Amino acid sequence: MDGTTVKHGDAGADARTSGRRDAGVDATTSPTEGGVDAGRDGACDAAFSSDPHNCGGCARSCGAEDCVDASCSPRVLVSGLPLNGALAIDSENVYFLATTAVDSVPLDGGTVRELATGLADLNYIAVDSTQAYFSVEPASGTGPVMGVALTGGAAFTLAPSREQPNGVAVAGGKVYWAEQWDGSVNGAVLSVPVGGGPPEVVVSGEVGPEQLAVDSVNVYFANWDWGGTTVVQSPESPGAAQTVATLHRPLGVAIDSSNVYFSSIGDGGTVNQVQKGGGAVLILAASPAAGTIASDGTNVYWSDFVLKTVQKVPVGGGSVVTVLSGLGKPLGIAVDGTSLYCVDVGSETILRVNK
């Protein structure tokens, strides 16, 4: 990794130097596109500056949160823990990595629960209906891929002694992870059954694979580190991989039923879209440090630790909307049907906001 890294396992060092805060600095979300208030149009009669059902404009809902100065306030789910920057969600909880533990917190907030502790050098996390899976990358570069029950207990090793294990995903009873190795063409994506077994190489001969996503057929990943330049699609079992996009330093990867979305911090930073299987790359937005990316099939969301924001743009392109601003150092994000969740390692908080 170089000095521009947003590597989740490294982010905890920043969090440890931060004081306890409740919500970061000016961590608010604007429901108006580009921060411009649509104004009253006769369609409703509301106090746009304070009405959570019409915050900043008619029918712009903040969900269960407050509307302050025409902006929806995020809910602080976690505060004051040294966070590494990665998270995952299911229908009930947010799962996240502290510097020495795998933790969870209810989606609406509440008590933080330690699922596994006594750990170190945690990197990425994914969950299925029963277990959380996470990669461990110590300074030596060699570390395991591990798991723990969502109910908590002893962490277990699925794949020991992997070379720079990074992004993790789970689908179809298998855990997938990226390995970066030493920067030559020996990076790889591997899988292992969720119940354990010998690792299987899904694709090899890659340069610096980092974040990845999986559907029922393929695994998608970005060759980011060591100057990587490709976004790759490969069958989940060993098969012929194909490059779906080429650009400088792609990082975050997300998918929906039709498209692959990816961020890039090279060449000024962009958020991009391409059809599964490849095609013309559509630049959705410029963003200097676009990192983790997510999609709900309607919008594409991403964090930017230079702008200190989380933003969104419609699938296919359109106006960029700032969902969260004034953050310290936003890294991992996730979305569900109503909300966006963000790890801000700069303020040691996990935030939820109506998306």
- pLDDT tens, residue by residue, 337-355: 999 999 999 999 999 998 8
* CATH fold for domain 11-19+77-290: Neuraminidase (2.120.10)
Residues 6+ apart with CB under 8 A from 10: 1, 84
90-141 pLDDT tens trace: 999 999 999 999 999 999 999 999 999 999 999 999 999 999 999 999 998 8
Percent of the chain with pLDDT over 90: 71
How many degrees, rounded to 5, is the angle at CA 300 between CA 296 and CA 302?
A: 120
| DSSP per position, 201-240 | EEEEEES-EEEEEE-SSEEEEEE-GGG--EEEEEESSS--
Answer whether 259's CB lies under 8 Å from 266's CB: no
Strand 270-275 vs strand 142-149: parallel, antiparallel, or unpaired? unpaired
Residues 6+ apart with CB under 8 A from 239: none
| Separation between Cα atoms, residue 301 and residue 295, nearest integer Å | 6
192-218 pLDDT tens trace: 999 999 999 999 999 889 999 999 999
pLDDT of res. 13 = 32
Q: Measured on CA atoms in the order 224, 227, 233, 237, is the torsion positive or negative?
A: negative
| Separation between Cα atoms, residue 114 and residue 149, nearest integer Å | 11
333, pLDDT greater than 70: yes
Query: Quick one: tokens of 69?
Result: 């100065």
- Other C-beta atoms within 10 Å of 94: how many? 25
pLDDT of res. 184 = 65
Interval 257-276 mean pLDDT: 94
What pTM was computed for the model? 0.85
Start-end of CATH 2.120.10.30 domains in the chain: 11-19+77-290
| Separation between Cα atoms, residue 330 and residue 153, nearest integer Å | 29
| Separation between Cα atoms, residue 66 and residue 102, nearest integer Å | 30
The mean predicted confidence, pLDDT, of the chain is 87
175-193 pLDDT tens trace: 999 998 766 677 999 999 9
> From the CA atom positions of the chain, what is the Rg in Å?
19
| Separation between Cα atoms, residue 139 and residue 180, nearest integer Å | 14
80, pLDDT greater than 60: yes
34, pLDDT greater than 70: no
76, pLDDT greater than 90: yes
CA atoms within a 13 Å half-sphere pointing along the CA-CB vector of 169: 22
pLDDT band at 263 (very low <50, low <70, confident <90, very high): very high
| Separation between Cα atoms, residue 216 and residue 304, nearest integer Å | 29
pLDDT of res. 7 = 46
Percent of the chain with pLDDT over 70: 87
pLDDT of res. 43 = 54
- Min mean pLDDT across 42-46, 58-62, 97-101 is at 42-46
Interval 233-243 mean pLDDT: 90
Q: Which residues pair with 354 in a beta bridge?
A: 339
Residues 6+ apart with CB under 8 A from 139: 121
| Separation between Cα atoms, residue 273 and residue 247, nearest integer Å | 12
22, pLDDT greater than 70: no
Interval 285-297 mean pLDDT: 97
136-176 pLDDT tens trace: 999 988 999 999 999 999 999 999 999 999 999 999 999 99
Answer whether 230's CB lies under 8 Å from 250's CB: yes
pLDDT of res. 19 = 29
Look at 216 and 34; give whichever has higher pLDDT: 216
Q: Which residues of 315-334 are buried (b: 16+ CB within 10 A; e: fewer)?
A: beeeebbbbbbbbbbbbbbb
6, pLDDT greater than 70: no
In the block, which residue shows the tokens 């959705």? 284
